[in-house]
Amino acid sequence: MNRSELFAYIKKTYQAEPEFLWKRYPDFCVFRHQHEGGPKDEKWFAFVGRIRSDKLGDSSGDGSGLTDILNVKADPDFINFIVGTPGYFPGYHMNKKGWLTVLLNGTVSDREIENLLSNSYDATAAGYRKKTVRTAVRDWIVPANPKYYDIVGAFEQEEEIVWKQAANMIVGDTCYMYTALPYSAVLYKCQVTETEIPYHDHTGPVKIDRLMKIKKLAEFNPSAFPLAKLKTYGVSYIRGPRSIPDRLKRDLETYLKKHPEARVKG
């Protein structure tokens, strides 16, 4: 996705136009929340700029040494997780704990940019503004700790189980379940089949406010995608549900095509 394609997508999806606020920097602009019939919300959900590639420590860009970037609000854990993956950098000229910079040169897929914008839009929405409901399904890596819940034993008994719901998961999302020690590997591909199941428990080590149902679609050999291999995709640790890098998603699906026995029958 390039700059013009991004502008068109934001206008269509969020009804927001670019605001060029700095005469000294004519290639810098922001996008804000829009209120129907009322004033603009002053919070930005996206920043677009054109900067020298070397300011990011990046060698890409056009012949002039410039590259287009997108800044989005993101979860700090996700920023720590994704920075270092090609196309992702700490927020340029913004709080690096809460903002992420993404290259607009094709390195990061259109779908991932759309997901990042959706999350940024929700994260920056005013408290009185109802958040938009995501309709496009997403792919996630989700951690499972056998110390707290025996997911392996549960899936041996049932193909569909309940799981702690992440705030922004919807029915149809895909979860690749990374299972901690003694496995330390991606073990399952699952699909979210139900969300918003009422449940409240803050007494144990895992605080739960609601549940969802996930259905096992396939099972990976623990040796196929261990943590050591995940690190080669930029996945160094998994503390919570995370968007999955495109390259890792492709390789997971390639594995399943080569090993049809891994898929759940029926």
Tell me the average pLDDT across 113-125. 85
Of 88, 123, 158, the residue at which a domain comes to its end is 123
Do 103 and 173 sit in the same domain of this protein? Answer: no
Full domain range(s) for residue 186: 139-262
Of 74, 94, 123, the residue at which a domain comes to its end is 123
- Which CATH number does the domain housing residue 110 bear? 3.90.1150.30
Tell me the average pLDDT across 114-121. 86
Does the predicted model carry a pTM greater than 0.75?
Answer: no
Residues of the chain above pLDDT 90, percent: 45
Do 154 and 238 sit in the same domain of this protein? Answer: yes
Tell me the average pLDDT across 49-76. 78
191: confidence class by pLDDT, cuts 50, 70, 90: very high
pLDDT of residue 130: 47
Of 123, 156, 172, the residue at which a domain comes to its end is 123
pLDDT tens, position by position, 2-31: 999 999 999 998 888 999 988 888 999 999
User: Most confidently modeled of 22-31, 201-210, 214-223?
Assistant: 214-223
63: confidence class by pLDDT, cuts 50, 70, 90: very low
For the cut 60, the answer to whether the pLDDT of residue 180 exceeds it is yes
Do 100 and 153 sit in the same domain of this protein? Answer: no
pLDDT of residue 133: 59
For the cut 60, the answer to whether the pLDDT of residue 230 exceeds it is yes
Do 209 and 249 sit in the same domain of this protein? Answer: yes
* Domain presence at residue 109: yes
Do 242 and 149 sit in the same domain of this protein? Answer: yes
Do 201 and 109 sit in the same domain of this protein? Answer: no
- Which CATH number does the domain housing residue 235 bear? 3.10.590.10
What is the tally of structural domains in the chain? 2
Tell me the average pLDDT across 26-37. 82
Q: Mapping DSSP to helix (H, G, I), strand (E, B) and coil, where does residue 70 land?
A: strand
User: In 3D, which of 214, 155, 219, 216 has the Cα closest to residue 187?
Assistant: 219
For the cut 60, the answer to whether the pLDDT of residue 32 exceeds it is yes
User: In 3D, which of 253, 235, 234 has the Cα closest to residue 184?
Assistant: 235
User: In 3D, which of 50, 51, 48, 96 has the Cα closest to residue 71?
Assistant: 48
Residue 128 or 103, more confident: 103
* Domain presence at residue 134: no
* Domain presence at residue 166: yes
User: In 3D, which of 119, 208, 129 has the Cα closest to residue 169?
Assistant: 119
Do 118 and 172 sit in the same domain of this protein? Answer: no
Torsion sign over Cα 46, 52, 57, 58: positive
* Domain presence at residue 117: yes
Distance between CA atoms of 135 and 184, rounded to whole angstroms? 32
Query: Any idea which of 55-59, 93-97, 252-256 has the lowest mean pLDDT?
Result: 55-59
